[in-house]
Amino acid sequence: GAAFPTYKKIMSVIESDAKEKHLIVNGVECDPGLIHDKWFLRKFPDEIYKGIEILCKCIKFDSVTLAVKEIKGLNYPKDLNIHKVQDYYPVGAERILVKKVLNRHLSHKTVPADEGILILNVQTVYAVYNAVCKNIKADTRFLTAANIREKTGAVVKVKLGSKVNEIMEAVYPQAGHVFLGGGLMQCRMADDDDIIDRNTNFIAIADFPRYKESPLCSGCGLCASRCPVGLKVNKIAGLVDAGKLEKVQGMRAEKCMNCGSCSFVCLAGRNLSSRVKAAREYCKKG
């Protein structure tokens, strides 16, 4: 699996006393700029389908769904339910996907597996197939390597533990700042000793984002309207700027999923997600 061990997720679903059990195979790249899930779905349909069959032998699911953003070009048996979701960010986030596929609302404190919902990325399902049928260890992963300056990207297969900078030198030999992370919206600059781990979905050459940090919030409300968890982002950011962290209690900042959408849309160029992050950390401590 990604950061969370797959067997633990599976065991949680097996042990869950939920009345219904559901499997959602997540083929929905969450962040803009990721291209490897789409490629993966088309490259390994047989392996992914067999991986799903193996999971269905472990757990009697009431529904099995492959969630994707685009159906065109997919070649899967007709008995597999394929659910096309809208292409927006962050539709691949687990709770949002559950809402889209099962029409169920899960609070930010609820773990889907405890509710009988197993959500696995397509690459994890492929790894299940490889482990069970071919005895192949999951010590590699496919990810997106992008050159943001030139708006190009490639799917690369890398060994876990490889140095990020060395991979980028091989894929894009031109010099540049290297970033890594879960995706375009949640990446950071790579250090010399950063390695590929199970969380790495995205490595890129890019320039630093330039936040204008205008103090003049127009009150347009765009940040709040784009927040997938419905936070009053500008109000929280204003309280953080004013040093009134105690007043963010009750504003649900702990629900922030750090997607970065608020900073992206802010016309005043404010780095809002870092402010909400500060509020979130304050609330968690409190």
Which of 223, 239, 240, 245 touches ligand SF4 (CB under 6 A)? 223
Site size toward ligand SF4, by CB under 6 A: 30
Residue in the structure block whose two tokens are 């061990």: 5
Is the distance from CB of 230 to CB of 221 less than 8 angstroms? no
Could you tell me the smallest distance in angstroms from the CB atom of residue 179 to ligand SF4?
Answer: 17
Could you tell me the smallest distance in angstroms from the CB atom of residue 212 to ligand SF4?
Answer: 11
Q: Which helix (H) or strand (E) holds 152?
A: strand 152-159
Q: Which amino acid is at 41?
A: L
**Listed ranges 39-47, 134-142, 201-209, 220-228: which one lies at the site for ligand SF4 (CB under 6 A):** 220-228
Which of 222, 239, 240, 248 touches ligand SF4 (CB under 6 A)? 222
Q: Which amino acid is at 167?
A: I
Which of 28, 120, 233, 239 touches ligand SF4 (CB under 6 A)? 233
**Residue (120 or 240) nearer to ligand SF4, CB:** 240
How far CA 251 is from CA of 230, 256, 282, in Å, comes to 10, 11, 12
CA distance 174 to 189: 16
**Residue (82 or 93) nearer to ligand SF4, CB:** 93
User: Which residues, 200 to 219, sit near ligand SF4 by CB under 6 A?
Assistant: 217-219
Q: At what angle do helices 45-58 and 36-43 cross, to 10 degrees?
A: 90
Give me the phi and psi of 82, to 5 degrees please: -105, 125
Q: Which residues pair with 286 in a beta bridge?
A: none
**Residue (75 or 107) nearer to ligand SF4, CB:** 107
**Residue (36 or 270) nearer to ligand SF4, CB:** 270
CA distance 276 to 232: 10
Please report whether residue 6 would count as binding ligand SF4 according to CB under 6 A. no
Give me the phi and psi of 24, to 5 degrees please: -120, 120
Please report whether residue 220 would count as binding ligand SF4 according to CB under 6 A. yes
Please list, residue by residue across 190-210, b when 16 or more beta carbons sit within 10 angstroms of its beta carbon and e when fewer do.
beeebbbeeebbbbbbbeeee
Which of 227, 240, 248, 278 touches ligand SF4 (CB under 6 A)? 227
Could you tell me the smallest distance in angstroms from the CB atom of residue 85 to ligand SF4?
Answer: 18
Please report whether residue 93 would count as binding ligand SF4 according to CB under 6 A. no
Could you tell me the smallest distance in angstroms from the CB atom of residue 81 to ligand SF4?
Answer: 29
Please report whether residue 221 would count as binding ligand SF4 according to CB under 6 A. yes
Is the distance from CB of 20 to CB of 64 less than 8 angstroms? no
Residue in the structure block whose two tokens are 């007709």: 78
User: Which residues, 237 to 276, sit near ligand SF4 by CB under 6 A?
Assistant: 237, 256-262, 265-268, 270, 272-273, 276
Is the distance from CB of 156 to CB of 175 less than 8 angstroms? no
Please report, as ranges, the residues that interact with ligand SF4 according to CB under 6 A.
217-223, 226-229, 231, 233-234, 237, 256-262, 265-268, 270, 272-273, 276
